[in-house]
Amino acid sequence: MVILLSHPPREDFAEANLCGRTAEWCLAAPSTSTNYKNNGQVSTYQGTSPATARVTGTAVLVQAAYPWMKNYNLVQTILGTAKDFEDIARESPTYKGIEKYRYKLRDRDPLLSGRDKMGDYYLLPEDMPWEKREVIKNHHGKNITRESGWGLLDTEAATKGYGGFYWDDVSLDTQGTELSVFSNDLKGDKGFTKKGEGRLVFTGNNSYKGDSILEGGSLEINGQNGPSAFKVNAGELTGYGSLASITQTGGYVNNEGNLTVNGDYTMNISDANKDKAGFKAKFGNMMTVNGKVTLGGTLDLTGETKEGIITKEGNVSTVLRGKKGIDGTFANHVSSNPLFGITKVEVSPEVDEMGIVINNNPDAQSKDVLVHAYRKQAGGLVSSVPLTQSGQSVADNLDKVLSKLDDKQAGGTLNSQEKAFAERVFEAFAGMNAGSANTLAQTLSTTATNAELYKLDPTIYVNSTVNAIEQSVDSSNTFAQRLSTLKQGSFWAEAAYEEYDLDQRQAISNRKGTHQSVGIGTDLGGIKVGAQFDSSQLDVNQSVYGVTNKADTKLMSVSVGASKSLGNDNYLSGFVKGSVLDGKATYHNGNKTDLQGKALGVGLQLGKHNQVTPKLSVNPFVSANYHHYDHDDKVMNDGINTIHDIDVKQLQLGLGVNANYQVTPNLELYGGLSFYEAVKRDATINTNYTGTDTALSFNGWDIGKDKYKATLGLNHRITPNNTLSLSYDYAGSEHTDSSQVKLGLVSRF
């Protein structure tokens, strides 16, 4: 990057260099430094010594604002935003007290000469105020002066992008930068070519005259763009402002911002490009062309505005208006949002609110492009895609909500929150499109469809509750077995760590838990009684293609039970259990909600203690238990779902066998095999989507109703009345695998 630097416009700084022959690569970058001398006096120095640093610093700031800019872009930005001195004079006529401008003798012959009050010789031109410069060239719309080149460095303007297009072949390649904004008023006789991915936005009122050529990415025009003719060869042109004219051979022009074209809009799209180029229409928006429109390529319905919704029965919207008529037709029409379908695209004369044609002049008839569209059934649309367990339920429930919103729109009672929710749903379905260079080839992406549906899925709350109930059931079965083996007063304590994986279609669910139990019991002569306190901490992490919901729950329980000998070594144990669940769930949008509820459990176990040999005992059993969780009355809202109730009921039957082998008087090995079947499990969550009032119900994920469990452990008597135990449990079902390590202590008294 080469920029030469000249002097500032100061009549009190006569020794600065002029740009002279280097004017086309030069600008003024003055500075003033102030310091205190040793005697305390203030010393001020004006000069161009720091000018290089100022320009370099400006270049650094511009590069930070626009990382895609190459060296020539930086030079053009800094030079193109330099201030003309006549503009400075209009903004500040005295420019900090400057009254006249001086020239150095070696640069040109003076018209007047004299000496200043300090006795120094100076030269100045006759009748030339300080802001006047000798223009040596007009560089495609920018006056270049002999004294100051392009003008005075303007760092602030440079950090807002180009100031104008004054060069041939200006290339704006925004590849690698998602969004760039030029907010200056763009001037000059030349134009530019926009290339590369990324969105470039113009917000100024522009007057540049050259062509605006779009070869890639997105170009958004939000100001009044003046005379430049736009040529769309690729990418996408959109905006909220106005421009002169459009000639299109490829890419898309989008009506999302109600862009105004003051001249003609010609879609000169070849047959080879007709399926991948054309006009993008947002239902409810209209682009106005004050000249003539020539249609071609594909009309792509991308979505709708927030002012209303496309209904299941269908609506019609004007998406493009040609004030001087519309010629030709679209080769195709399609909706890139898979939730919408198009029944018809037609060209019709513009009419007023009464349906009367506004202009009957056939040579200049204002005409409209009308799109007739309808909304498809979400449930039917996604049914061809492999989904998570709850994905289909989400889509079906969305149909219920949207159907009710249709009725409200027809009755004129649709509110802003309901419109916003509908827009969210439509955007979600737009994101499900697998995408294709050919817009007529529409398929749903398995990844995107599952991810978008899961963003509207509340089942994390009921799934975490089912997980807590499952842990409570396991603890209850162990408690019932322990009751039957009590021989005298006993105290026990256990701690366990568990990892639990749920194998689900299109989803990953990892669960971890820690469990602590303490209990006490005794034999009252034929009846053994006991009580146990349990505390469990459970973490559930569910992820669907990068969309993650989490729940951390704490379950505290108290169980009381009794076991009675039935003779012949048979026993019957029973228990009741009360639990309190307190948790916090984190939804994928970052919102946290509290999970609070209570559970009640009851159960029976019938078994037999068989002493097969003096060292070996075998204990078969059958069991039945019922657990019911009920959510507290508190309503939860995560910003997407409003949860009113969570209800989990489970009836489980089981059978198994345990075996104990006395290796030594102080060491015992034990193991067990068991099988459980949840003959009835209902896990539901009752909700509505926030901002709507349609009552909805979702089922929790199926974790498998059948469950098998294997246990291996040892008991080591460390004192006559104290025994340590260590065990490993593996449990599995149709959809789950879990492993648990447990450490325990039993003391008899």
521-574 pLDDT tens trace: 999 988 999 999 999 999 999 999 999 999 999 999 999 999 999 988 999 999
Q: 502 lies in a domain?
A: no
Q: At which of 115, 139, 161 does a domain end?
A: 161
Give tens-digit pLDDT for 17-76: 678 888 888 988 877 667 777 887 877 666 666 778 889 999 999 999 999 999 999 999
Tell me if 575 is assigned to some domain: yes
- The number of C-alpha atoms within 13 Å of 44 and in the hemisphere containing its C-beta is 5
In a domain, 99, yes or no: yes
Q: Are residues 447 and 462 in the same domain?
A: no
Is the same domain home to 432 and 472?
Answer: no
**Residue 525's pLDDT is what?**
82
Same domain, 567 and 688: yes
Query: Is the Cβ–Cβ distance between 249 and 232 less than 8 Å?
Result: yes
Residue type, 699: N
Alpha helices in 529-618 (DSSP H): none
Are 558 and 427 members of one domain?
no
What are the pLDDT digits (tens) for 225-239? 999 999 999 999 999
H/E segment holding residue 119 = none
Buried b (16+ CB within 10 A) or exposed e, 9-45: bbbebbebbbbeeebeebbbbbeeeeeeeeeeeeeee
Q: What is the residue range of 438's domain?
A: 244-457
| Amino acid 129: pLDDT | 53
Whether residues 463 and 419 fall in one domain = no
- Looking at residue 13, what is its pLDDT? 42
Rounded Cα gap, residues 445 and 447, in angstroms: 5
Which residue has tokens 């955007």?
A: 427
Mean pLDDT for 273-281 is 94
738 in the same domain as 626: yes
Q: Is residue 201 part of a domain?
A: no
- 645 and 570 within one domain: yes
Same domain, 294 and 439: yes
CATH of the domain at 703: 2.40.128.130
Sequence-distant (≥ 6) Cβ neighbours of residue 435 within 8 angstroms: 445
Query: Is the predicted pLDDT of residue 95 greater than 50, yes or no?
Result: no
Q: Which residues face 319 on adjacent strands?
A: none
- Domains of the chain: total: 3
pLDDT, tens digit, 9 for 90 and up, residues 334-384: 998 999 999 999 999 998 888 888 876 667 789 999 999 999 999 999 999
Q: Tokens representing 414?
A: 């649709």
Q: Is the pTM of this model over 0.85?
A: no
SS (H, E, C) 324-361: CCEECCCCEEEECCCCEEEEEEEEEECECCCCCECCCC
Q: Which one-letter DSSP state was computed for residue 473?
A: H
DSSP-assigned states of every residue in 354-392: TS-BS---TTS--EEEEEEEEEPPHHHHHTTS---TTHH
Residues 266 and 365 reside in one and the same domain = yes
Report whether 705 contacts 724 (CB < 8 A): no
**Average pLDDT value for the chain:** 89
> Do 414 and 480 belong together in one domain?
no
Residue 270, φ and ψ in degrees, nearest 5: -75, 165
Burial state string for 148-165 with b = 16 or more CB within 10 A and e = fewer than 16: bbbbbbbbebbbbbbbbb
* CB within 8 Å of 465: residues ≥ 6 apart: 553, 581, 595, 597, 629, 631, 646, 648, 683, 700
Q: Is residue 202 part of a domain?
A: no
| Domain boundary residue, one of 127, 161, 195 | 161
* Size of the chain in residues: 749
The reply to whether 462 and 483 lie within a common domain is yes
Residue 226 lies in a domain: no
Domain assignment present for residue 182? The answer is: no
pLDDT at 124: 45
User: In sequence order, which residues have a C-beta less than 8 Å from that of residue 411 and are 6 or more positions away?
Assistant: none
What pLDDT is attached to residue 113? 43
Phi-psi region at 278: left, alpha or beta (left = phi > 0; alpha = psi -120 to 50): left
Domain assignment present for residue 513? The answer is: no
Do 550 and 421 lie in a common domain?
no
Whether residue 742 is predicted with pLDDT greater than 80 in this model: the reply is: yes
Tell me which of 123, 144, 161 is where a domain ends: 161
| Helix residue ranges, H only, 50-102 | 51-65, 71-80, 85-91
Provide the 10 A C-beta neighbour count for residue 479. Answer: 25
pLDDT range class, residue 269, cuts 50, 70, 90: very high
Buried b (16+ CB within 10 A) or exposed e, 369-396: bebebbbbbbbebbeebebbbbbbbbbb
